[in-house]
């Protein structure tokens, strides 16, 4: 029954979408942008119909309606309610419904923004075309309301490592970010087609870039946090293609935020901003293709149907091709170049963009090259973290240096001497701070570590200096918070990378081992039975420099599907994380494999990501109030 | 001259950008070549003319009954049903490392029969098989 409602809702949203596109074309042909009533009616109905379809799917998951294929394959009656709900978007079909729902939500909200009728018309038009493309994809290749007859009695269950509260909210955040960039994409196309790509365009666009960017930042952070505590390997970023897929649109959007400021403030860089607006969403689509098509193997690869991959890939090529054609034909007006100075804000933003695009190409090449090589020669390779680290680190230092000075420059005049004065203040302070840290905590010196600490401290110092010298704080508050977050993030990453410790051992109850400066005692073991799994806890006491920490990692045996997972136990004092994970071993029945990690400043990594996002959120609220 | 002043200027800027971009891509590509890890099936190792000195990955099924333990060192056999390779690994085996199931190891080859692994790659779930392993197994089953 619910399946019919869902199918009907999807079907009607498709019909309405076709109507919407036709009435938009009619309006554009007659050059009549006044008649927005019908347009709004269709636009709103599409959103509500898709919302109904989505809620129907969630309902199917809640009541465990196994006549629905998606529910049958991804759910189980014994699963807790929250995972039944999150199961709705924890699979390919459901996540595509969410994808389209967000596309339409952005169109729905945008239709209420204060924008000229003509621009709005075109933006809704391009957005409707995107919705059409993905609706057809959904209905043809991955209908979430496909039925099975006869109805199975029980579902196959959700992959246990996905049964985690964080993963219930990670995909929506990520999707709001990814899909949110579609609006900037449509808006840029609208601006190009109507020859309205100018200052006023970028003023409105600002909000629609920073909002999804902030959400994406949170989404990436949540994914990373999940990988940290769920996978049990002590790491938080593995340069896995799936992680890179989310980083690429983030880098593109970060470049876009900055170039858009130049377009707004100085009426320059129109073409570049337009190109980045298109490119950011194309990167999101590429990310969707990488994780959804099955070319990569990960928890995200739900789709094993090669047609889906082919469809998404051809969609990306189609969208890229046509948006670039529009860009080339309707290239925005030439910028008026005034006098050029090196020490000027717009020039530093241009440098920032070059760096970000370089970082993006490094990640892009590292992610796509193995796939292309495999497709052409059949050779399988993997690109390790070393590639990214060696290539990114040296450029990161220079990037941090420019990032420290850029915001302090003026838009209109060159102030070289002021910068040299700043440099004379920042360098001594950051050299003192970073050398104190290095001599205090590190027995060995590594040039990468020294430079990493020096330049991240340099950025933090410059941001604090900038913060203090603000006349009106609210004006630049968002930027200051985000930049500070980036500085502390790099600082924490470097400290963490060089001070982390790892201990591996096989232990049985009562054992006590002493490795490095840690004493680990295996106190006891106990078992509990939960709704859909059994759990075995180990109680460990870690002594480190007279401090004692009790940790209780566990192993879960899930019933549906039968699978073992290690649950980590993490205690943090906000400076250092003590991290414990245990494994069963097939070969030593009496012993348990333990992994202990000492992870400094992990909390600060999460806090920094939050800061970066909060800067963005603050800015969006400020922009919203301005409009 | 053939070109006007502004054309010359544009040509200059364009060639500068082209040079910069090609240097950057050469740099990226060079670094990539140094840091990629190739995957080999045991059968492919048999056919190698010389032993690669850098890190590689091998994968296949863990042969049943082949795992031997000596202190903290495990030795087991990885097979693709055509060729077998001994793998030595010093460390902890992941939860999902089970005899008869697929596994991927990263490390260096000592000779064509013996592999010293530094990492055993973790898998996400029990039924998952690395695509490289699945491919090589499929090929060998068809050829038999």
Q: Are residues A126 and A257 in the same domain?
A: no
Q: Which domain holds residue A273?
A: 183-337
Tens of pLDDT, residue by residue over B72-93, are: 788 889 888 888 899 998 877 7
Q: Are residues A349 and A298 in the same domain?
A: no
Residue of chain B nearest A373, judged by CA positions: B38
The pTM assigned to this predicted structure is 0.91
A62 assigned to some structural domain: yes
For residues A500 and B51, the model is more confident at A500
pLDDT at B6 over 80: no
Q: How far apart are CA B16 and CA B11, in angstroms?
A: 8
Highest mean pLDDT among A81-85, A119-123, A144-148: A119-123
A595 assigned to some structural domain: yes
Q: Any bridge partners for residue A579, and if so which?
A: A570, A597
CA A186 to chain centre: 21
Read off the pLDDT band of A280 (50, 70, 90). very high
Tens of pLDDT, residue by residue over A352-382, are: 999 999 999 999 999 998 888 888 887 778 8
Q: Which of A127-141, A323-337, A464-478 is least confident?
A: A323-337
CB A34 within 8 A of CB A173: no
Tens of pLDDT, residue by residue over A396-433, are: 999 999 999 999 988 887 777 888 888 888 999 999 99
Q: How far apart are CA A264 and CA A153, in angstroms?
A: 59
As a dihedral over the C-alpha atoms of residue A505, residue A579, residue A219, residue A398, rounded to 10 degrees, the angle is -90
Q: How far apart are CA A352 and CA A262, in angstroms?
A: 12
* pLDDT attached to residue A303: 47
Which of A119, A135, A163 is a domain's end point? A163
Q: How far apart are CA A97 and CA A82, in angstroms?
A: 19
- The single residue listed with the structure tokens 């900055």 is A258
Nearest beta carbon to residue B131 from set A297, A365, A369: A297
Cis peptide preceding B94, ω within 30 of 0: no
Q: How far apart are CA A422 and CA A424, in angstroms?
A: 5
Q: Are residues A195 and A311 in the same domain?
A: yes
* pLDDT attached to residue A210: 96
How many cross-chain Cβ pairs, A to B, lie less than 8 Å apart? 91
Q: Are residues A332 and A353 in the same domain?
A: no
- The single residue listed with the structure tokens 């495990």 is B74
Nearest beta carbon to residue B124 from set A298, A561, A588: A298
CB A485 within 8 A of CB A513: no
**Nearest-CA distance A229 → chain B (Å):** 14
Highest mean pLDDT among A213-222, A508-517, A534-543, B51-60: A213-222
The Cβ-side half-sphere exposure at A261, using a 13 Å CA radius, reads 21
B131-139 mean pLDDT: 67
Q: How far apart are CA A337 and CA A415, in angstroms?
A: 19
A383 to chain B: which residues are within 8 Å by CB?
Answer: 32, 35-37
Residue of chain B nearest A556, judged by CA positions: B95
Number of domains comprising chain A: 4
B72 to chain A: which residues are within 8 Å by CB?
Answer: 506
Read off the pLDDT band of B122 (50, 70, 90). low
CA distances from A433 to A336, A456, A460 (A): 44, 11, 11
CA distances from A497 to A204, A451, A483, A596 (A): 40, 14, 21, 16
* pLDDT attached to residue A134: 94
* pLDDT attached to residue A12: 95
* pLDDT attached to residue A585: 67
A609 assigned to some structural domain: no
CA distances from B68 to B41, B65, B80, B116, B121 (A): 22, 8, 19, 15, 19
CB A253 within 8 A of CB A181: yes
**Nearest-CA distance A362 → chain B (Å):** 7
A227 assigned to some structural domain: yes
Q: Are residues A192 and A317 in the same domain?
A: yes
Q: Are residues A304 and A352 in the same domain?
A: no
pLDDT at A18 over 60: yes
* pLDDT attached to residue A541: 93
* pLDDT attached to residue A560: 67
CA distances from A578 to A161, A479, A503, A551 (A): 21, 33, 11, 8
A102 assigned to some structural domain: yes
B43-48 mean pLDDT: 84
* Helices (H), ranges, A442-511: 447-468, 473-499
What number is the ipTM of this complex? 0.76
Q: Are residues A331 and A221 in the same domain?
A: yes
If one counts every other C-beta atom within 10 angstroms of the C-beta of residue A339, the result is 8
CB A623 within 8 A of CB A210: yes
Nearest beta carbon to residue A299 from set B37, B72, B124: B124
Q: Are residues A448 and A425 in the same domain?
A: yes
Which of A132, A163, A194 is a domain's end point? A163
* pLDDT attached to residue A182: 97
B9-22 mean pLDDT: 85
Q: Which of A175-179, A331-335, A530-534, B103-107 is least confident?
A: A331-335
Decide: helix, strand or coil at residue A506.
strand
* pLDDT attached to residue A334: 67
Mark yes or no for CB contact B95/A555 under 8 Å: yes
Residues 6+ apart with CB under 8 A from A24: A39, A121, A124, A125, A128
Mark yes or no for CB contact A366/B32 under 8 Å: yes
Percent share of chain A, pLDDT over 70: 95
Mark yes or no for CB contact A390/B35 under 8 Å: yes
Q: Are residues A451 and A516 in the same domain?
A: no
Closest by Cα among A402, A390, A418, A535 to A458: A402
Burial class (CB in 10 A: 0-12, 13-18, 19+), A573: exposed
pLDDT at A343 over 50: yes
A285 assigned to some structural domain: yes
B27 to chain A: which residues are within 8 Å by CB?
Answer: 391
Q: Are residues A146 and A201 in the same domain?
A: no
A386 to chain B: which residues are within 8 Å by CB?
Answer: 35
Read off the pLDDT band of B144 (50, 70, 90). very low
Tens of pLDDT, residue by residue over A504-538, are: 888 888 889 998 889 999 999 888 888 778 888 99
Mark yes or no for CB contact B122/A383 under 8 Å: no
A595 to chain B: which residues are within 8 Å by CB?
Answer: 92
CA distances from A268 to A207, A248, A274 (A): 19, 25, 11
Q: Which of A8-12, A70-74, A119-123, A201-205 is least confident?
A: A70-74
A168 assigned to some structural domain: no
Q: How far apart are CA A524 and CA A184, in angstroms?
A: 56
A154-166 mean pLDDT: 76
Top residue of B9, B25, B37, B62 to mutate, by most chain A CBs within 10 Å, is B37
A233 to chain B: which residues are within 8 Å by CB?
Answer: 122
Averaged pLDDT of chain A = 88
DSSP element (H, E) containing A551: strand A547-551
* pLDDT attached to residue B70: 77
For residues A268 and A157, the model is more confident at A268
Mark yes or no for CB contact B95/A369 under 8 Å: no
Residue of chain A nearest B126, judged by CA positions: A563
Top residue of B26, B35, B68, B136 to mutate, by most chain A CBs within 10 Å, is B35
DSSP letter for B47, please: T
Top residue of A301, A367, A382, A566 to mutate, by most chain B CBs within 10 Å, is A382
Mark yes or no for CB contact A383/B94 under 8 Å: no
Q: Are residues A345 and A460 in the same domain?
A: yes
**Nearest-CA distance A386 → chain B (Å):** 7
SS (H, E, C) A29-86: HCCCCCCHHHHHHHHHHHHHHHHHHHHHHHHHHHCCCCCEHHHHHHCCCCCCHHHHHH
Q: Are residues A436 and A357 in the same domain?
A: yes
A488 assigned to some structural domain: no
């Amino acid at each position: 029954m619910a399946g019919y409602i869902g199918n009907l809702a999807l079907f009607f949203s498709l019909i309405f979408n076709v109507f919407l596109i036709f009435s938009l074309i009619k309006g554009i042909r007659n050059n009549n942008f006044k008649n927005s009533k019908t347009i709004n009616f269709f636009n709103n109905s599409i959103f509500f119909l898709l919302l109904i379809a989505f809620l129907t799917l969630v309902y199917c998951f809640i009541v465990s309606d196994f006549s629905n294929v998606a529910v049958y394959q991804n759910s189980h009656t014994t699963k807790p309610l929250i995972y039944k709900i999150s199961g709705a978007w924890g699979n390919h079909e459901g996540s595509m419904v969410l994808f389209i729902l967000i596309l339409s939500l952005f169109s729905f909200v945008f239709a209420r923004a204060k924008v000229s009728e003509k621009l709005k018309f075109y933006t809704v038009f391009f957005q409707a075309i995107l919705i059409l493309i993905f609706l057809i994809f959904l209905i043809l290749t991955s209908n979430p309301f496909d039925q099975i007859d006869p109805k199975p009695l029980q579902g196959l269950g959700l992959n246990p490592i996905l049964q985690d509260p964080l993963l219930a909210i990670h995909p929506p955040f990520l999707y709001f970010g990814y899909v949110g960039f579609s609006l900037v994409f449509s808006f840029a196309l609208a601006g190009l087609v109507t020859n309205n790509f100018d200052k006023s365009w970028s003023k409105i666009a600002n909000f629609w870039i920073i909002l999804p960017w902030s959400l994406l930042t949170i989404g990436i952070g949540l994914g990373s946090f999940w990988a940290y505590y769920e996978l049990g390997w002590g790491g938080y970023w593995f340069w896995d293609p799936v992680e890179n897929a989310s980083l690429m649109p983030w880098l593109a959007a970060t470049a876009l935020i900055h170039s858009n400021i130049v377009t707004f403030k100085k009426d320059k860089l129109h073409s570049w901003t337009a190109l980045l607006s298109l490119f950011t969403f194309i990167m999101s689509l590429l990310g969707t293709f990488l994780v959804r098509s099955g070319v990569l193997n990960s928890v995200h690869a739900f789709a094993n149907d090669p047609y889906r991959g082919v469809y998404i890939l051809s969609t990306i090529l189609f969208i890229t091709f046509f948006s670039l054609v529009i860009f080339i034909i309707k290239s925005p007006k030439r910028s008026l170049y005034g006098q050029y100075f090196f020490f000027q804000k717009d020039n530093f933003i241009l440098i920032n963009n070059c760096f970000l695009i370089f970082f993006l190409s490094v990640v892009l090449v590292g992610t796509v090259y193995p796939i292309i090589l495999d497709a052409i020669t059949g050779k399988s390779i993997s690109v390790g973290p070393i590639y990214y680290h060696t290539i990114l680190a040296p450029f990161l230092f220079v990037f941090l240096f420019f990032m420290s000075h850029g915001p302090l420059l003026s838009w209109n005049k060159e102030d070289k001497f002021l910068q040299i004065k700043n440099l004379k203040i920042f360098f001594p302070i950051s050299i003192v701070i970073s050398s104190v840290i290095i001599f205090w905590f590190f027995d060995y010196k590594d040039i990468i570590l020294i430079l990493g600490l020096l330049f991240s401290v340099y950025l933090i110092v410059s941001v604090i200096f900038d913060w203090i010298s603000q006349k009106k704080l609210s004006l630049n508050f968002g930027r200051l918070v985000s930049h500070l977050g980036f500085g502390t993030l790099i600082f924490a990453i470097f400290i963490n990378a060089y001070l982390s410790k790892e201990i591996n051992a096989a232990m049985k109850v009562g054992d006590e081992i002493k490795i490095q400066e840690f004493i680990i005692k295996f106190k006891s073991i106990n078992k509990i039975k939960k709704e859909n799994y059994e759990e075995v806890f180990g109680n460990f006491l870690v002594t480190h420099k007279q401090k004692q920490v009790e940790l209780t990692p566990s192993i879960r045996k899930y019933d549906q599907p039968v699978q073992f997972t290690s649950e980590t136990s993490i205690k943090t004092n906000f400076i250092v994380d003590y991290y414990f994970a245990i494994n069963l071993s097939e070969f030593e029945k009496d012993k348990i494999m333990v992994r202990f990690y000492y992870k400094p400043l992990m909390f600060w990594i999460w806090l920094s990501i939050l800061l970066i996002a909060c800067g963005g959120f603050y800015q969006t609220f400020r922009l919203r109030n301005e409009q | 001259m053939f070109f006007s002043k502004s054309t010359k200027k544009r040509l200059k800027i364009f060639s500068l950008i082209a040079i910069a971009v090609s240097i950057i891509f050469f740099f990226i590509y060079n670094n990539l070549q140094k840091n990629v890890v190739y995957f080999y099936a045991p059968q492919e190792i048999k056919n190698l003319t010389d032993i690669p000195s850098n890190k590689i990955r091998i994968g296949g099924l863990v042969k049943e009954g082949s795992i031997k333990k000596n202190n903290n060192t495990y030795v087991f056999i990885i097979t693709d049903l055509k060729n077998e390779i001994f793998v030595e690994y010093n460390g902890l085996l992941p939860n999902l490392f089970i005899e008869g199931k697929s596994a991927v190891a990263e490390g260096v080859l000592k000779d064509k029969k013996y592999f010293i692994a530094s990492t055993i790659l973790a898998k996400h779930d029990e039924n998952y098989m690395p695509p490289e392993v699945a491919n090589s197994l499929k090929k060998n089953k068809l050829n038999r």
